Amino acid sequence: MDRFYNVSNFPNEFTKIYNYQKSLKTDLIVIDSFDRDRTLYPDPSNYSINFLNSSIGKVFKNVKSIRLLTGSFPDQNDIQKEPYLLLEIKEIDNDALNGSNSNIQRSTSIIQLDRPILTGFFFNMKTDICKSLYKTFDPPINLSKLSIKIKKKDGSLFSFGTDTDPTPNPLLQHMLTFEVISENKQYDINLQSLNGSA
């Protein structure tokens, strides 16, 4: 005899038919300002990377958290004289970052530079300060792009230099690496329930 399920009790019947499982997936997203659309974003301090229009090629779904892991910045325009830089990402409202002024308060993270890798070339970001960007999402979100601004402490954009030549200048570009943790949802058929067993 065929088994009929009570439609009014659908959620309960549904759990009898399917086993619902969650798992976490970790991805690394590496953003290089070299890869921005330089027609739309000539300034390497102010740009957006759309994942579907880049080699990333996908939207990150059900994102539960994002963390800034590393960064490197060009040794340009006396950047070493800046006490810190401000990282602003439109898609990430970091409510865990509280500042004594509105420029910090509006930022997503603070950037402090370590010793230069090689004078005149690049600085790494101090890894301890990366902890200032750890954002959780409840409920999870879908992440399809990152819109990035690098600012001075006064809130103005930091200038790495003019980058409007036909070929991008690699010495004016910066790199950021993010860890993204997403929730995977899986449904497995419970054959015992389909056979009418509890």
- pLDDT score recorded for residue 193: 46
Select the more confidently predicted residue: 155 or 189. 155
67-112 per-position pLDDT tens digit: 999 999 999 999 999 999 999 999 988 777 888 889 988 898 889 9
Please compute Rg for the chain using Cα positions: 23
3-class SS string, 80-143: HHCCCEEEEECCCCCCCCCCCCHHHHCCCEEECEEEEEECCCEEEECHHHHHHCEEEEEEEEEE
Residue 33 DSSP code: G
Judge whether residue 56 has pLDDT over 90. yes
Is residue 2 situated within a structural domain?
Answer: no
Domain count, the chain: 1
Q: Which of 42-46, 95-99, 113-117, 192-196 has the highest average model confidence (pLDDT)?
A: 42-46
- pLDDT number for residue 4: 46
Most confident of 8-12, 67-71, 106-110, 177-181: 177-181
1 located within any domain: no
Q: Read off the pLDDT of residues 105-150 as tens digits, 9 standing for 90 and up.
A: 889 888 999 887 777 789 998 877 656 688 899 999 999 999 999 9
How far does the chain reach from its first CA to its final CA, in angstroms? Answer: 16
In a domain, 159, yes or no: yes
Task: With respect to residue 36, please indicate whether it lies within any of the assigned structural domains.
Answer: yes
Of residues 9 and 108, more confidence is placed in 108
pTM: 0.79
Higher pLDDT, 98 or 47: 47
- CATH number of domain containing 33: 2.60.120
What is the domain extent for residue 65?
Answer: 7-194
Query: How much is the average pLDDT of 32-53?
Result: 94
Q: Which helix (H) or strand (E) holds 158?
A: none
Q: 123 is written with which tokens?
A: 């600085």
The answer to the question of residue 165 being in a domain is yes
* Residue 78 maps to a domain: yes
